[in-house]
Amino acid sequence: MRFLTVKLLAATALSLTLAACVPGTTMPAATPVAAQPPIPADNTAHYAGVTDDGFTVPTVPVEKVPADFQVQQVAYESGEAVGTIIINPAERHLYFINGKNTALRYGIAVGRAGFQWAGVANITSRTHWPKWTPPPEMIERSPEKAKWKDGMPGGPENPLGARALYLTTNGVDYGYRIHGTPEWFSIGKNASSGCIRMINQDVMDLYNRVQDGAKVVVLNADGSYPDKLKLPPPAPKKKKPAPASVTPAAAPAPVLSATPTVLPGATTLPAATTLPAAPTAPAVDTMAAPAPAAAAATAPATTAPATTAPATTAPAATAPAATAPVATPPAATAPATTPAPSTCTVPLVNGVCPQS
């Protein structure tokens, strides 16, 4: 008998030694949770405003929350132990097993399209008025949340609400939580990024009932029991813009120049030439042309006195130069020795008085 006792003690010591060799293994308490009293049928008092840790939790208008999503005691068949949480995303309900085939049912909001998940997890910690830190993926989707990259302090406006229950699967934290929300109107909808939302008053009640290490089962979309952890596919990463060097540079705009460019084989047009103005009295020119010859033939004797006339007639010769400069070419053909009449009352034409 004594030998059997010593052998039993040795086996016990060995089993304890092997258990200590498993790193990071937490053995949850096996003590079942005592059944909690059900929530009263009249939820007005349950959803009334309350002061908690110095923060005010506003009253929830019960008349605006569908009765199906208000907390209530229901019959629920399950083989899970008392204290287990079962979440049915398709129904938007969370069941807290509080007796044999009975549960407290709370309304919840679940992940929207692309964020649903299923599997078994454990509650590894619980927090009052938790700090919220958006993950990098959320900041990428909503850049305005970057201001909270180091964490948003707990408070009535915090997305995690008054309480948070942190979930891990096989010791891995995938970022999923059961938490409160100030947006009570989102309950009953697919509104989150995978977390389970509850009305603040409901999550405060659940916080007081559940224990650390409690089992949490998130059912498949069809309501069946999950056989493994099923996570949503990772969001596609945004394509980075192409480097600036790859983008072809825009062609430079042509620069207009005042200096003409002569192309090969092209002929440069001459500059425009200003044509001389037409003579003011061409008819007089043609008719007066014979006058000098006639004067020279009929009055040769009168040419001698003409030598004294330039002193008096010279001013008259300047008048046509000012009024009709275009007549200068024909002036070269007129005889230089042709004397001007001693008196002429009109301007000379080619050095000849038109009246002679």
**Active-site annotation holder among 21, 46, 93, 195:** 195
Q: Give the DSSP per-residue string, 197-208.
A: EEEHHHHHHHHH
Nearest CA to 88 out of 230, 221, 182, 268 is that of 221
* Stated pTM of the model: 0.57
Over the Cα atoms of the chain, what is R_g? 57
For the segment 281-324, what is each residue's pLDDT rounded down to a tens digit?
Answer: 444 444 444 444 433 333 344 444 444 444 444 444 444 444 44
Inter-residue contact 153 to 159 (CB < 8 Å): no
Confidence of residue 191 (pLDDT cuts 50, 70, 90): confident
Residue 356 has pLDDT above 70, yes or no: no
**195 is a catalytic site residue:** yes
**What's the rounded Cα separation, in Å, for the pair 92 and 77?**
18
Inter-residue contact 49 to 182 (CB < 8 Å): no
Amino acid (1-letter code) at residue 189: K
User: What SS3 state is found at 51?
Assistant: strand
Residue 268 has pLDDT above 50, yes or no: no
Helical segments of 21-158, H only: 136-141
- Name, in order, each residue with C-beta under 8 angstroms of 66's C-beta and a sequence gap of 6 or more: 107, 188
Confidence of residue 16 (pLDDT cuts 50, 70, 90): very low
For the segment 120-170, what is each residue's pLDDT rounded down to a tens digit?
Answer: 999 999 999 999 888 888 888 889 989 999 999 999 999 999 999 999 999
Tell the CATH superfamily of the 48-218 domain.
L,D-transpeptidase catalytic domain-like (2.40.440.10)
Inter-residue contact 133 to 160 (CB < 8 Å): no
Tokens 């008092």 appear where? 45
**Active-site annotation holder among 21, 128, 179, 344:** 179
**46 is a catalytic site residue:** no
